[in-house]
Chain A
Amino acid sequence: MSLVKRYSSKKPYLASLSRRDAIKWIGALSVTAAFPGLTACSSQALAPQSELAKGHWPQLELPVINATGYGKDPNLIIAPRASWPRTLTAAQLTFIAIFADIVAPREGSVPSASEVKVPDLLDEWVSAPYERQQQDRVSFLHLLAWLDEEARRRFDNLFVDVTASQQLAIIDDIAYKKAMQSEEFVRPAKAFADFRRLVLACFFCSPAGVKDIGYLGNVPIVGDYPGPSDEAMTHLQGVLDELGLTL
């Protein structure tokens, strides 16, 4: 994997912006801290600090999302793209872009997660006023803050501004199943696992991702459904033989 950094606080991720969002974004650029407005409060934190003896976990006070959803009868043909305001700052989007590209980097002609606008989808996701999304928002924003704490602790800088190999040194500690066994990494590793699955989901839903995972449906077929290909049936026959089964 290339360790050249695509994004940093000097090279921010550029969201697909509406005019109104753009004004907000320019405002956010002038803010130097990564997480303005986030202060200590245990109310929405993942788990109280005292529960685990080792490690650290930020205690963020997150403003409650009380936007309205798209309702029971949205236009399904011209879908409302996030009818609620997006809430991530430019710094957070840049952070997520780096992070998403670590999860799903460019591979040859297959674009990376940020190239198919995964950070925009995640902004929509964590800003949505629904239960699953709100839970993810709490988890993900704490993870980002944890990564910054960790980058400061180890390398004395924001996560987005340490080198790519330093970023990976931190990620390596929380990205593998074994991290769940190490008490200090239980919480960031769990949050990372959830974030990773969602980043991949966003990526594979994109037109490039659909192709990459190999989904061949959603195409009208004239006549009868042809069923499995010869190759697929040959493979199945091998499976059946191995398991001692017959059709």
Chain B
Amino acid sequence: MMEGQINGHDYDVIVVGSGAGGAMAAYTLTKSGRKVLMLEAGRDYDPKTETPMFKSNFDAPLLGAGNSDKDFGFYDATVDGGWEVPGEPYTKGEGSEFLWWRARMLGGRTNHWGRYSLRFSEHDFKGFSRDGLGADWPFEYWDLAPWYDETEALVGICGTNTGLDDMPDSPEGVLQPPPKPRVPELLVSAAAKKLGIPTAPMHRAVLTRPKDDRQACFYATPCGRGCSIGAAFQTTTSLIPMAQATGLLTVITDAMVKEVNVDEKGKVNALTYIDKKTKQAHRLDAKVIILAASACESARILLNSKSESHPNGLANSSGHVGRNIMDSTGVSYGAHIPALEGRPKYNEDGHTANHLFIPWWGHKVQEKKAMAFPRGYHFEIGSGFRAPSSWVSGDLDGYGKPLKEIAKQAYGSYVGLALRGEMLPNDDCYMEIDEDVKDKWGIPVVKFHWKWSQHELKQVEHGLKTARQILETMGAKFDKPLPKAEDAILKGGQIIHEVGSTRMGDSPTESVTNQWGQTWDCSNLFVMDAGVFASNPHKNCTLTIMTLAMRNSTWLARQLDKGEL
């Protein structure tokens, strides 16, 4: 994609990263007439020609099962990435477990994500004010609401307005209609209702009506493989081509950013990247830089950008770069539901993820301080007549025809509830640079430190009990006690919702950026990925990353107009 000599000064803004934040920033800026250069560390990627849409697991090696090469299965859209990237290690402090997911490809993690797109609510932005823990965001829900409206309309989100206090409504006409719920989801809904817990259509970045040159979902093929028809949102079929259509976007792939450079006054004036194909370092002049490389990668770049004026790393006068990392809490609990055995077959693919889910229902109880933990969680429902894979459900016994009958009866009778909950920042969860280890590009790597606190463990304990109650109400029988929260909770980073490494705030001593993602220390350096999140509500982060990137790059464009940058 690189043509001739690139001169960074030819561009108004250099964006590092092509995922949710970077692509939305590039789209917003090019639409407002700015010339943008985008650097992506991974390879070029075209979902239109590379997505294995209708392939069956039988066509794949090992029935498509996941392994260390393809963690989420052979056909997962993530290429050249995963928990481990060859030649790009990370280390962990003693006693710490952390998994760092990276997608080294154009479009980043948007190519394979779950596409759950829930707005954060007013509770979510003011956690500290509510319970004295963590930090508030430097604005209110209502400041962000119009930007959510615009982002949802641009991206294309299906769902409905529910009136639930955990799910702020969208304006009339913004949301596209959600697909009808499936049988196991309706059964979960009925059981939850008996326990006083509401369910709702999941909001997903999946088109159920055509939009611009993207088609509506045809309810086949797993979204995690990517979507060559553009129905399931990924920046490679939407924001990036739309930004390119303005003629103002240039993309360089295989460009691994090493550091951001500053002038003698400490202001950003360039960045250095390694061209992965030639292994050569290039220095690009820059007027304004947006880091949207993913939370921990952006923080890594900042910490690796040391200079006389920024001895602790760039934009790190607060010492908060790399601190306050949060993931979502994650636990899965499920059961075989006897009443769903041998039920009538129908095509249960739908848009392949949740049609219904269980949003957090406990704000009122928490207001009265009557819950043993702060902050909420939601349940995603796993169920359905899925495409056969390398696992067969059922209490298998014997062989031959009776065995096959057991498997066929059990098909579609398993229901799993996956908890995704809010984690609070704590002093034991942070990243730093490991001075002893470099990646294959010669860049010092990240060292992670991780420990769940009692807040998360108590929340998970509550979630496990609730999941069991719901499943029992559906007729499931359990012969084992509930697992302990510390055994059941998934590892840090495993939910792939890590945020907060460059958090925003009101004060330069307590945060890395202001509310616009502009670093306190360098006015022409911005962060527009999930690093800026001041808290990590239980809701999946991508919609809010995109919304903030749209809002903040709009503000950035105005600052350029005014000559402020």
Q: How far is the CB of B20 from chain A (nearest CB, A)?
A: 22
Q: B61 and A221: CB pair below 8 A?
A: no
Q: A200 and B340: CB pair below 8 A?
A: no
- Residues 188-222 of B contacting A (Cβ, < 8 Å): 189-191, 193-194, 208, 217-221
Distance between Cα atoms of A236 and B218 in the complex (Å):
25
A-B CB contact pairs (8 Å), 30 listed: A69-B68, A69-B69, A70-B74, A72-B70, A72-B80, A72-B81, A74-B61, A74-B74, A103-B400, A103-B403, A133-B67, A175-B397, A197-B391, A201-B63, A204-B407, A205-B56, A205-B63, A207-B56, A213-B407, A216-B345, A227-B179, A227-B180, A228-B346, A232-B343, A232-B346, A235-B344, A239-B339, A240-B190, A245-B191, A247-B189
Chain B residue numbers with a CB within 8 Å of A124 are 61-62
B475 interface residue per 8 A CB criterion = yes
A23 interface residue per 8 A CB criterion = no
Q: A225 and B392: CB pair below 8 A?
A: no
Chain A residue numbers with a CB within 8 Å of B407 are 200, 204, 213
Chain B residue numbers with a CB within 8 Å of A22 are none
For A219, give its contact among B60, B191, B220 (CB under 8 Å).
B220
Chain B residue numbers with a CB within 8 Å of A83 are 61
B426 interface residue per 8 A CB criterion = no
Chain B residue numbers with a CB within 8 Å of A235 are 183, 343-344
- Residues 220-247 of A contacting B (Cβ, < 8 Å): 220-222, 224-229, 231-233, 235-236, 239-240, 242-247
Number of interface residues of A (CB under 8 A): 74
A33 interface residue per 8 A CB criterion = no
Chain B residue numbers with a CB within 8 Å of A177 are 397
In the complex, the chain A residue whose C-beta lies closest to that of B81 is A72
- Residues 19-73 of B contacting A (Cβ, < 8 Å): 43, 49-52, 54-63, 65, 67-70
Distance between Cα atoms of A227 and B384 in the complex (Å):
12
Chain B residue numbers with a CB within 8 Å of A200 are 392, 396, 403-404, 407
Give residues in B with beta carbon < 8 Å to A. 43, 49-52, 54-63, 65, 67-70, 74-75, 79-82, 85-86, 177, 179-183, 186-187, 189-191, 193-194, 208, 217-221, 225, 339-340, 343-351, 385-392, 396-401, 403-404, 407-408, 411, 473-475
Q: A210 and B69: CB pair below 8 A?
A: no
For A215, give its contact among B74, B340, B387, B473 (CB under 8 Å).
B387
Decide yes or no: A80 and B70 within 8 Å by CB, A1-B401, A225-B180 being known contacts. Answer: no
A90 interface residue per 8 A CB criterion = no
Distance between Cα atoms of A181 and B386 in the complex (Å):
33
In the complex, the chain A residue whose C-beta lies closest to that of B191 is A245
Distance between Cα atoms of A239 and B474 in the complex (Å):
9
Q: A70 and B69: CB pair below 8 A?
A: yes
Q: A132 and B350: CB pair below 8 A?
A: no
Q: How far is the CB of B217 from chain A (nearest CB, A)?
A: 8
Distance between Cα atoms of A132 and B70 in the complex (Å):
13
Chain B residue numbers with a CB within 8 Å of A144 are none
Q: Which 4 A-B pairs have CB atoms at the shortest separation, nearest pair first? A: A227-B180, A217-B349, A220-B218, A225-B179
Q: B79 and A226: CB pair below 8 A?
A: no
Q: How far is the CB of B520 from chain A (nearest CB, A)?
A: 38
Chain B residue numbers with a CB within 8 Å of A71 are 69
- Residues 165-191 of A contacting B (Cβ, < 8 Å): 171, 175-177
Distance between Cα atoms of A83 and B62 in the complex (Å):
11
In the complex, the chain A residue whose C-beta lies closest to that of B222 is A218
Chain A residue numbers with a CB within 8 Å of B194 are 244-245
Chain B residue numbers with a CB within 8 Å of A132 are 65, 67
Chain B residue numbers with a CB within 8 Å of A131 are 67-68
Q: B52 and A77: CB pair below 8 A?
A: yes
Q: A205 and B57: CB pair below 8 A?
A: yes
Chain A residue numbers with a CB within 8 Å of B388 are 201, 204-205, 209-210, 213, 215
Decide yes or no: A72 and B86 within 8 Å by CB, A197-B391, A200-B403, A220-B218 being known contacts. Answer: yes
In the complex, the chain B residue whose C-beta lies closest to that of A219 is B220
Q: A104 and B190: CB pair below 8 A?
A: no
